Structure formats: C-alpha cells, structure tokens
C-alpha cells in the first residue's frame, strides 16, 4: 500500500506568475474555483482502511488534487508546450489533443503548442518527422473522428536525444498521451531532464483501452470500448439463440486485464461465460468450459462466451516473441477455444452453429462516445493546469470522482487488474451464473 511519501508530486520550482485564469473567474468565488495547495485527496476511502494505518492524520496517504492554481510556474507569454501521442489507438485521442490546445490558447494565452508526430519517434530528428503547429483552427473538429491527427508509434527512443530536441525547440512542458509503456518512457525523459537540471516539465495523460493503469479509476476511451464491445455481444447473442445449438464467441481486448470483457458483459447481460486473464479456467473437467457449455446449450438452447484476448494463456503455449513495446506476443486463445468447442460437439455427435466475432481494431479506431468526450476534455484541462503550475513526472486521473495528480513511478510499478475476489468479478458471476471455479 502506498505511503504519503509515495504520493508526493515533483515540481519545477515555486509558482511566481499570477494565473491568467484570475480574470476568467472574476466575480466568482475564486477560493472555490482554484485548488487549495494545502488540500489533499485521501487514498483510502473507508474508516477501516485508515484505522489499519495506525498513523496520525497528517501521515494519511493522500493525492495532490488536480485543477487550476491561482499562481503558476511558467510565464504564458513565453511558454512553449509539446504534445505527443504514443502506443496503440484509443477512442478519445483527438478529443484530448483538441482540449489541450484550446485550454492553452483560450485560457492561458499560450500560443506555441507543438504536436510531435508518430509518438516518441517524432522527437528524434534523424527520423525526419516534422512537428505540427497545433492551433484552435487546426483542432476545431478533430474530435469528430477517431485515431490521432499526430499519429502514433510503439517502442522506446533514446531519452538523451529526446531531451536534446526539447531543448532545441525551447519546449517548457511536454504532455504525453499514452499507456504504461509510454509512461515508462516519460519517466526516463524526466530522469534525463533532472540529470541536466532543466526546467522542463513532463505531464502524462494516461491512455489505455484495457483500463489497466492503477490509481486513476478509469482511463479515457474505456467507456467507449466496452460500449462497442457490448454491441458485439448482443449480436452474438442474437446469432446464437436464432440457431440450433448456437454458440456465440466474442473476443475482446484485454492483454493482462479483463475490464472490457467484464463491463461489456454486464452492460447487456447476454453473456453466459466471461473468460479473463486474471481468472484461470480449464477446457476439460466437470466445471471446465466444455462441460459447462454443454449443460448451458442443453438447458437453454444457446450460449454466448466473452473471451478477453489475454485469457487462458497457459492453454496456448508461449510464442517467444515480443512487439515493439516489449510486450510478449499472446497466444491465440480464441482459436484454441473455438477448435475445442467444435471438436467436443463433433465427438458427442451434436450439431453446432458457432459464430465468432472479433470487434478488436474496430473499437480502437472509433470516435469517443459523449461520456468519454467529456472525460477527455476534463483530463486535458487538468493536465494543462498541472503543467502550467510546474508539475512534472506525474499523470492526471480521476479517482472516486476527484481529479488528482499521481506520480509516474507509482503508476508504472504495476498493472491495474480485475480482482478475482472483488465486487466486479462477483457481479460478473452473478450475471452469467457460470461456475465460480472453472478449473
């Protein structure tokens, strides 16, 4: 469990400039609009957890709240902000780019915003990827389409080369929009900046469609992703119940965390089995998938299986390969499950109509839904507030409906995942009525 010291955010120095937002909030209760530097957001949310700490209140672990400050570190008249999108596509990337640009221009008066193309590769001059000037005119309607106007890429780049480029262009703050690997890269950039004692801030806006970044509640794009996945489950349900001995198999994203599978299944209650990386399952055995599926189809005539891509990797065998981000390539669990079901029905002399749906990349590329669009805009604004106030080596997030600053070292130390003993998985078991233990 994190301590108070673990949750302290790094700063570039004292804030000596009056925030331009002071005129924006004129006539309002500014003490309610601005974030108090002395306020904190508690890490623990129950009395029992706090009692276990057995510490005085001043030592209770707490986050620095996100939001605008009355005083800022950077002079808006001379500030130059860089923006980069890294890793895989995710709904809402263009929403974040747009909101960052508009917040800087409209409310802080920062008129130099540079977008780096194709992830960290855009910060390596020898690759020839020229940066883009981000303006309100350019970003005006980009939120209406998926993807990212800046492009993206996977894989690390030399932090020394990146910092050289930041210095060359006069970048004062770099906003990194990306997931776990991107935040590892951001931290390495901060370490190089710190080694050179430069006043350049790095603020992360966490993006992962799998929702596997810890301490931030929910990452942007996740709500859009599980909403789209739920529609695929509905389609599989209709196909399955319309066929004789129909089985719908839906593969969704989730390399290490089964959040999309769980939320999509709960969104429409059409799934009969949900298989995720965090909960092992067997194909054979009385409570294994095949016998459980046999009973379900016999009793109800059809069944729907939702399968996270990282589930059942012990059944596939290691591929021994890695992608550009260093992630181990997954075995094809969908093919393993599909062939096992087909063989089992054939061996029992039972007819089978199996429909396989994989919404996969179609989910990654769609625009954000309205809920995610709002979340993207607010995350972007909080990130700009943090960057202008001289915060660095941190990400923004919303934890229990409060925006907070989280040190990058804390979010990259582990992955967020579905707890097999938690209430989310219990809700899935209640919804599907699948065996509690399928081994």
> For residue 30, is pLDDT > 60?
no
Report the pLDDT averaged over residues 216-237: 93
Which residue has better confidence, 237 or 323?
237
Question: Which string of b and e fits 40-65 if b means at least 16 CB within 10 Å?
Answer: bbbbbeeeeebeebeeeeeebbbbbb
Q: What is the pLDDT at residue 158?
A: 96
Report the pLDDT averaged over residues 294-309: 96
- With bands split at pLDDT 50, 70 and 90, how would you rate the model's confidence at 326? low
Report the pLDDT averaged over residues 350-357: 96
Q: What percent of the chain has pLDDT over 90?
A: 76
Contacts with 187 (C-beta within 8 Å, 6 or more apart), sequence order:
393, 408, 409, 412
Domain parsing of the chain, residue ranges: 5-219+368-399, 223-363+420-432
109, two tokens:
């008066």
Which residue has better confidence, 287 or 25?
287
- With bands split at pLDDT 50, 70 and 90, how would you rate the model's confidence at 321? low
Identical fold for domains 5-219+368-399 and 223-363+420-432, yes or no, is yes
Task: Look at strands 132-133 and 112-116 and give their pairing.
Answer: antiparallel
59, two tokens:
């030592």
pLDDT digits (tens, 9 = 90+) for 32-81: 678 888 888 888 888 888 888 888 888 888 899 999 999 999 999 999 99
Which residue has better confidence, 37 or 249?
249
Report the pLDDT averaged over residues 267-283: 96
Q: What is the pLDDT at residue 319?
A: 64
> For residue 324, is pLDDT > 60?
no
Catalytic option among 95, 210, 372, 393:
210
Q: How many CA atoms lie within 13 A of 52 on its CB side?
A: 9
pLDDT digits (tens, 9 = 90+) for 109-154: 999 999 999 999 999 999 999 999 999 999 999 999 999 999 999 8
C-alpha closest to that of 338 among 275, 264, 268: 275
Query: Is CATH 3.40.50.450 what the domain over 5-219+368-399 is classified as, yes or no?
Result: yes
Residue in this structure with the two tokens 């690390």, named with its chain if needed: 156
- With bands split at pLDDT 50, 70 and 90, how would you rate the model's confidence at 28? low
Report the pLDDT averaged over residues 79-106: 96
The mean predicted confidence, pLDDT, of the chain is 92
Report the pLDDT averaged over residues 377-403: 95
Respond yes or no: is residue 210 known to be catalytic: yes
Structural domain 223-363+420-432, CATH architecture: 3-Layer(aba) Sandwich (3.40)
């Amino acid at each position: 469990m994190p301590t108070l010291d673990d949750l302290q955010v790094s700063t570039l120095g004292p804030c000596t400039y009056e925030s331009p937002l002071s005129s924006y909030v004129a006539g309002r209760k500014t003490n309610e609009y601005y974030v108090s530097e002395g306020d904190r957001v508690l890490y623990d949310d129950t009395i029992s957890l706090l009692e276990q700490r057995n510490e005085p209140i001043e030592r209770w672990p707490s986050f620095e709240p996100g939001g605008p400050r009355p005083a800022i570190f950077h002079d808006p008249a001379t500030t130059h902000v860089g923006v980069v999108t890294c890793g895989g596509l995710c709904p809402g990337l263009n929403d974040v780019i747009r909101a960052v640009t508009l917040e800087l221009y409209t409310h802080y008066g920062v008129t130099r915003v540079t977008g780096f193309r194709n992830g960290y590769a855009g910060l390596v001059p020898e690759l020839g990827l020229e940066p883009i000037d981000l303006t309100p005119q350019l970003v005006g309607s980009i939120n209406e389409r998926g993807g990212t106007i800046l492009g993206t890429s996977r894989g690390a780049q030399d932090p020394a080369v990146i910092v050289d480029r930041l210095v060359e262009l006069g970048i004062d703050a770099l906003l990194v929009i990306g997931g776990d690997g991107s935040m590892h890269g951001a931290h390495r950039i901060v370490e190089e900046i710190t080694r050179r004692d430069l006043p350049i801030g790095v603020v992360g806006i966490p993006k992962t469609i799998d929702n596997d970044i810890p301490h931030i509640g929910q990452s942007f794009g996740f709500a859009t992703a599980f909403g789209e996945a739920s529609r695929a489950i509905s389609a599989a349900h209709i196909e399955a119940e319309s066929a004789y001995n129909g089985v719908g198999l839906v593969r969704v994203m989730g390399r290490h965390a089964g959040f999309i599978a769980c939320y999509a299944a709960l969104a429409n209650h059409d799934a009969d089995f949900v298989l995720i990386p965090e909960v092992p399952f067997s194909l054979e055995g009385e409570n294994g998938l095949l016998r459980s599926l046999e009973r379900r189809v016999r009793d109800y005539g059809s069944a729907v299986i939702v399968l996270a891509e990282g589930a059942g990797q012990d059944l596939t065998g290691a591929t021994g390969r890695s992608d550009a981000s260093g992630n181990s390539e997954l075995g094809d669990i969908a093919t393993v499950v599909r062939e096992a079901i087909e063989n089992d029905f054939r061996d029992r002399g039972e007819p089978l109509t199996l429909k396989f749906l994989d919404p996969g990349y179609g989910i990654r590329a769609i625009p954000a839904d309205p809920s995610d669009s709002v979340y993207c805009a607010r995350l972007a604004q909080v990130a700009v507030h943090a960057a202008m106030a001289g915060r660095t080596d941190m990400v923004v997030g919303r934890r229990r409906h409060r925006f907070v600053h989280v040190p990058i070292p804390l979010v990259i130390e582990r992955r967020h995942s579905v707890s097999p003993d938690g209430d989310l998985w219990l809700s899935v078991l209640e919804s599907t009525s699948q065996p509690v233990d399928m081994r």
